Structure 1
Amino acid sequence: MTNLAHLKFYATHPHACSYLEDQRATTLFLDPQQQIDVDTYSQLSELGFRRSGDHLYRPHCQACSACIASRIPAADFAPSRQQKRIIKRNADLQVNAQPPRVTDEIYQLYAGYIESRHADGDMYPPSREQFSSFLVRDWPFSLFYEFRLDGELLAVAVTDHMRNGLSAVYTFYHPDHPRRSLGRFAILWQIEHARRSEMEAVYLGYWIKNCRKMSYKTEYRPLEMLVNQRWVRIN
């Protein structure tokens, strides 16, 4: 187990918040010279850290505490009636685990997703370099779960395997299948995968009350949130 007291962290200068308008944000990063192994990653996830590319980070804003780390306890999760319908609609998909990589097929799916769903975000316009630095890392704990229909790639869930569960890093999907609710299904699939693998939880990243794009996370119950450095169940 990593001795977290020996780790170094660096805080950024205040910058424009990616989620809340008119807010300034500060981010705390693990020293980029520190090797990210699964033990360090798992321990820091318990403290609300997330991974983006090569970096482990968490919000460190002095005047705002809107970003709250969230996770779903896999063994206790009970799908709602709507979520059961989503699972049934996608029963014809095949899911395969692959190492992170960039191919024309995967990148085109990612680019189409960003252009159709996040053209107003900081990842627009997409590029191969941005995709690689954000999601493609040759680490043993990271996988691309590919969701296919008769061979056609419909979605990719970028997932990290930690000691304490799965980290749902990012999901991108084909925009022309709205009835399938592919983003929601990818999370439901990861919850079931964690449950069957006897993993503790699926870590969803940050929930922000006043951010519409984060509201979907409260659809999964029970949900646990990190409040005052304790995981509290929200029923």
Structure 2
Amino acid sequence: MRLLMMLVGLSLGILGATQALAGSAKEPLWLEVIDPYVEMHSGPGRGYPVFYVIEQGERVDVITRRPGWYEVRTQDGKTGWATTAQISRTIQTTGEPADLPTVSYGDYLKNSWRAGFNTGQFSNGELQGSELFSATVGYRPLGWLGVELEAGKIFGTDIKGDLYGANLVLEPFSDWRISPTVLIGRGVMKIDSQPKLVPLQIDDSDFNHYGLGFNYYLGRNFLFKGEYRSYSVSTDDNNVSLEAWTIGFNSFF
């Protein structure tokens, strides 16, 4: 009899724990729409009609997911499907970005502007040892592709100048928290102050450059980055090669 009672008690305990876990698993994940609207389809596909539009500031509960789609429920009980791209542009009620399993950093940052700064040093070539400081502003039209404009200052012993450029930034693995990047670009260097004894070949010169680096996402809207850059600078005599290492910080909005 005692053994039977122990088994019954154990069964009730397991049932209660199971129900508690089931209840916590069903706890809704409420997200707030921050874009002007989110289209709600009757099924998980573009072929299904849009039957409701969720407006900015409304909240939705995420129910389940399919490849490229999330099933959501509005606060007034309407249930439908929204694309991953649109659901990625939502925030939690705490104000934090939606951290959903199939939404990468690149998905969240698609169609967003970026601003940041870089600092580093030339490690090879005529500007070896000179410091580089630059500010960037850009746009990310795709999750894995960005464009940016850069303006910077160069400081060294008896050297002072400016740098202006336009860059294309490729990030093929933007779903990784630490993801590799490739940068290519063109620009111009204007060296205002030169060494008196042996002037540099670089004066007012165009350059091409490429870079290899990484992005480390500190959050959905902020990243730390490091880059190696190789410059080919056009001069009157020939092309001058430069190398530089930089670190930087970007924010998205």
Q: Give the TM-score, by structure 2 length.
A: 0.24
**Bigger proportion of residues as helix:** 1
Relative contact order higher in (CA < 8 Å, ≥ 6 apart): 1
